[in-house]
Amino acid sequence: MDRHGSPALGPQNASARVSKGSESAAERLAALKARVAAAINTSSTRGPAGAVPGPGLAPNPPPGTGPAQVPAKATSGLNVPLHPALLGDIGGSSRSNNRSSHSQQHRSSQNRNDGAKPSTQPKRKQLDLSGPPPEDVKANPYYDPTIQGPAPRQPRQLQFNDPGKYIAQANAIRRQEKLEELKKKIAASTQKAADEDADVQKNFMVDAPPEVEWYDEGFVKDNNYDLINMDEIHALIQHPVPIDPDSAKQLSVKPMYLTAKEQKRVRRLRRAAVMAEERAKQRLGLLPPQPNKVTLNNMFKVLGDEAILDPSAAENRVRREINERRDKHLQENEERKLSKEEKVEKLARNQEKDVAREVHLLVYKINNLSNGSIRWKLSKNAEQLGCTGALILCPKFCLCICEAGPYGARKYRKLVEDRIDFTQNAPDKHKETTHELKEWLKATDAEGNLKDLSANEARLVFAGEVKAQAFSKFSSRVCETEQDARSFLARVKMENFWNLAKSMA
């Protein structure tokens, strides 16, 4: 019996066909379609004559009991129509299978009854979709084993983000940007401080000593001090000239300084000696006797009977003599008094003598000089005391340099350290005529309030003697930057004082 003519496929035939490994994919697909069509055909055929079918579905007759009848429309077991996509293939295959099964049954019945020959209809060729075998693919000269086929597409699933995920990422980015900006500011400030302190470090660096000093180059051979000829050096030494005892009398001896009490005692003894000498000369008749000094207290004792006889006349005489003595004293004082020009000359002469003795240098570091009255006091007192120097005004700190003799330096040091209170602040009273007043030099801030100078102070940076004066007068200098202040002090070779003041905590 032909396998296409069987109305249904049994489980033994199906398992046998599936287990065959040599069948192609097209043959397996055709067998599967035949099984589906046979199952639909079997469920939709009617039973033998005389059977009573149900109201909606006819009972399935056993195979071989009657001819198979194909319904007008293939339906499923629950009277639900099939999908249109399946009707084209399955319906066609089922109709063709039913048609072939009817023709096979008819031919078999005719062969059995009439002995007629079967029809010679050609079989339909199936489409092979399996492709070439793997061996042929690998035998291809253009085959590349590294290239793989397309990866199977995975279904995209919904992925939900946690609340605040992107906000946290944004905050992290902002923190990173702030950190980078802070690093840049720190690097810039560090570079600026390093540039400013570069010259400070240079001043404190000590050069290595040379192998041979410049004053020994003429006596040292091959840069070795062991090869020095000491006889040549001893011949060049200048010994002090011995002083003759007779010429020692011509040497000037400095006077001894006396205290105020000792000076009063010396003056009193000197005047007593002069008065004793005058009295001795008067006793000998060399000088006329001085007239008696009559006062209201000793009037009766000196005048005697004259005062008793006419007291009013004696009193008028005494008062007239008292006025004459007072007028004489005042006249002598006026004659001894110096004029204004002579006072200025005397003061300048004394200041020159004071500076000629020795020059004292004072350097003060002042944190803030916003108070205009303090700036005026520092400049005016330096001018009155004949001091030279400079008052350097800078936003970071101020430097006061004073050069004077012993007397002027002592007075100016007392002024800065004792008399002036640098913590006090007051509104500006004097108008600046030489330059416009800077914001950091004003006594008030932008809002008009007085600046707080409670932490302001003046610290002594250097005090000592120098060889000569470096400034011609005392003046004020406004420097916007530290570089300007250093360049100004470099002209007089005093930039080391700025570095020393800056290094003070």
Averaged pLDDT, groups of 10, the chain, 505 residues long:
44 45 74 84 52 43 44 50 57 50 51 49 66 82 78 83 93 95 91 72 74 84 81 80 66 81 97 96 92 91 91 94 95 94 94 92 94 93 95 93 95 95 83 62 84 91 93 92 92 92 86
* Spatial distance between the Cα atoms of 207 and 184, rounded to a whole number of angstroms: 35
Beta strands in 226-305 (DSSP E): none
How many CB atoms sit inside 10 A of residue 256's CB? 6
CA dist list (Å): 102 to 65, 68, 71, 96, 230: 14, 8, 14, 10, 149
Tokens of 142: 């253009």
Tokens of 313: 């006349």
Exposure string for 57-82, b = 16+ CB within 10 A, e = fewer: ebeebeeeeeebebeeebbeeeeeee
Tokens of 492: 């007089």
CA angle 293, 295, 300 (to 5 degrees): 100
Amino acid letter, 115: G
Q: What is the pLDDT of residues 42-90, one digit of tens each?
A: 655 544 444 444 444 444 444 444 444 444 444 445 556 666 655 554 4
CA dist list (Å): 202 to 193, 194, 196, 399, 428: 14, 12, 11, 21, 40
Residue 394: per-residue pLDDT: 92
Cβ–Cβ under 8 Å, residues 93 and 76? no
* Spatial distance between the Cα atoms of 205 and 187, rounded to a whole number of angstroms: 25
Task: Give 3-state DSSP helix, strand, coil % of the chain, rounded to 5.
Answer: 50, 10, 40
Alpha helices in 338-389 (DSSP H): 340-357, 372-384
Burial of residue 504 (CB within 10 Å: 0-12, 13-18, 19+) is exposed
- C-alpha 82, offset from chain centre: 81
Can you say whether residue 10 is alpha, beta or left, with left for phi > 0 and alpha for psi between -120 and 50 degrees? beta
How many CB atoms sit inside 10 A of residue 6's CB? 17
Smallest CA-to-CA distance from 369 within 443, 295, 438 is with 443
* Residue 158: CA count within 13 A, CB half-sphere: 1
Token pair 């020009």 in the structure block, residue: 341
Tokens of 2: 């032909």
Residue 281: per-residue pLDDT: 94
* Spatial distance between the Cα atoms of 366 and 441, rounded to a whole number of angstroms: 13
Residue 155: per-residue pLDDT: 85
Residue 104: per-residue pLDDT: 53
Smallest CA-to-CA distance from 258 within 250, 269, 267 is with 267
* Spatial distance between the Cα atoms of 10 and 171, rounded to a whole number of angstroms: 72
Q: What value does the CA radius of gyration of the chain take, rounded to a whole number of Å?
A: 67
Backbone φ, ψ for residue 362 (5° rounding):
-125, 130
Amino acid letter, 449: N
Residues 6+ apart with CB under 8 A from 3: 13
Residue 191: per-residue pLDDT: 84
Enumerate the β-bridge partners of residue 362: 402, 463
Backbone φ, ψ for residue 138 (5° rounding):
-70, -25
Enumerate the β-bridge partners of residue 361: 403, 464
Cβ–Cβ under 8 Å, residues 351 and 474? no
How many CB atoms sit inside 10 A of residue 40's CB? 23
Smallest CA-to-CA distance from 363 within 482, 500, 503, 505 is with 500
Tokens of 76: 């499923």
Burial of residue 280 (CB within 10 Å: 0-12, 13-18, 19+) is exposed
Most distant CA pair in the chain: distance in Å? Answer: 216
Residue 55: per-residue pLDDT: 42
Backbone φ, ψ for residue 463 (5° rounding):
-150, 120
